[in-house]
Amino acid sequence: MSHKHSILNLLGIKDKNIKVMDKDWLKEEVRNGLHCKIISAKLTYTPEACKCCGCVNEGSIVKNGTKLTHPLLLDMAGCPTYLELKKQRFLCRECGQTFIAETCIVKKRCHITNDVKRSIAVQGTRNISEKDLALEHRVSNNTVKRVFGDFYDTFRQVYTHLPENLAIDEFKSVKSAEGAMSLIICDSDNKKIFDILEDRRNKSIMDYFMRFPQEQRAKVKTVVVDLYGPYQKLFQALFPQAELIIDRFHIVTQVNRALNMARVSFMNTLKKSKDLKANRDYRKLKKYWKLILKKEETLNSTEYRYHRLFKGLVTERGIIDYLLSLDEGLRLNYNAYQTIIFTVNHRKPKLFSSFVHEKQQGLTVKMDQALKTFRQSEKAIINALNYDYSNGLVEGINNKIKVIKRAAYGYRNFSNFRNRIFIEYKLLEIKTAA
């Protein structure tokens, strides 16, 4: 194997019609303030027919000089690399037209090689902005957009099949989206995105799912949603055979916020007092707020340690007992919170039902509202305690979507944003013929 052939192999050039120059085949130049490597080569062959008139070459097509081009290659050793390619020009004596030799490494009238474009398409699965991709490959932002359009088809849903177990949640997409929030639909079994809708309004969701055949909608077994009221009625109508499941995270979040608000409300009353002890208690409630939200069964009651704001050694259990002794209302809300998270963590549906239906005294308005919400969605919450499905998968995807959006400093077009999400999750395949 000659050294010229080795050079072409290193560059990934498989066109046998391209030959490296005999002399001065490697040069270094400064372009746009960067030191670049320039590899000189020539493209020539005997054409079978004229590109202009289609006349078969029987000696009627002759060589007519060359055209110098500089297609961009992938970087070598971190250096921008160009191919100084002399393309053969041909003259057809039949029609008098000229045409240029073509190669498979770069499209006609394009100065960016197919390898560079493919690299952009592959690197698009990384969480990197289009601007950074353009800088990495030394092309323009618009080139990156065109490459994505050329190498990836826009995701189009085929309305013939629905997953048996769905997980649904909303997220903030782009300002130009029709609704305030967009909707993400996931397959709970294979842990993949099923589709993304531009808005979460009932009419849009209804129109989307009604495109699927009735027998497919009847096959859906479970649908996991949050506590958003309109969702529950809508999905029960769309999937009459499915069990509606409230995500357990949202159940805990409701009482978590209610307890936090009860703590802050009591702290505000202490803040107004000029008493020194009240001021100290205020600081204790502010510092140990995480301990108040901690699961009661995990509180340490045997290990005595020094804690700032407390005299002597004290356990976590001792801190909580002291803080709850300050206010009866805080203690009642704390007990309600702990009961709910205990029933959720240990899957106690009967205890949950009996507790939310009991008349609770001394609770804040927020905690009462949370329990009222639980009563209204009791069947779906009981399902959450009986099934293992949750929206943890969707929440993780939502976090990744936020990172994608932040890396790009936001998106204006929903379609572009949606496609980029599918690209990063490798749900769109690169076209082989792109």
Verify that 376 and 420 share a domain, yes or no. Answer: no
Verify that 40 and 88 share a domain, yes or no. Answer: yes
Flag whether 154 is in a domain: no
Residue 30 structural domain: 3-110
DSSP state of 297: G
Verify that 257 and 379 share a domain, yes or no. Answer: yes
Q: What residue spans of 65-152 are helical by DSSP H? A: 114-123, 130-137, 141-151
Verify that 218 and 271 share a domain, yes or no. Answer: no
Verify that 240 and 255 share a domain, yes or no. Answer: no
d(CA 416, CA 148): 10
Verify that 255 and 302 share a domain, yes or no. Answer: yes
Segment 282-301 mean pLDDT:
94
pLDDT reported for residue 434: 56
Collapsing DSSP to helix, strand or coil, 107 comes out as coil
pLDDT reported for residue 265: 95
Flag whether 280 is in a domain: yes
Verify that 193 and 204 share a domain, yes or no. Answer: yes
d(CA 252, CA 342): 10
Verify that 369 and 394 share a domain, yes or no. Answer: no
Into how many domains does the chain fold? 3
**Mean pLDDT of the residues in the chain:** 91
Cβ neighbours around 362 below 10 Å, total: 14
Q: Residue 395 pLDDT > 70, yes or no?
A: yes
Kindly report, residue by residue over 293-304, the tens digit of the pLDDT. Answer: 999 999 999 999
pLDDT reported for residue 176: 83
- Bridge partners of residue 112, in order along the sequence: 72
Flag whether 12 is in a domain: yes
Flag whether 159 is in a domain: no
Verify that 334 and 364 share a domain, yes or no. Answer: yes
Kindly report, residue by residue over 3-15, the tens digit of the pLDDT. Answer: 677 778 888 888 8
Pick the residue with more confidence: 24 or 165? 165
Verify that 311 and 361 share a domain, yes or no. Answer: yes
Verify that 36 and 103 share a domain, yes or no. Answer: yes
Flag whether 136 is in a domain: no
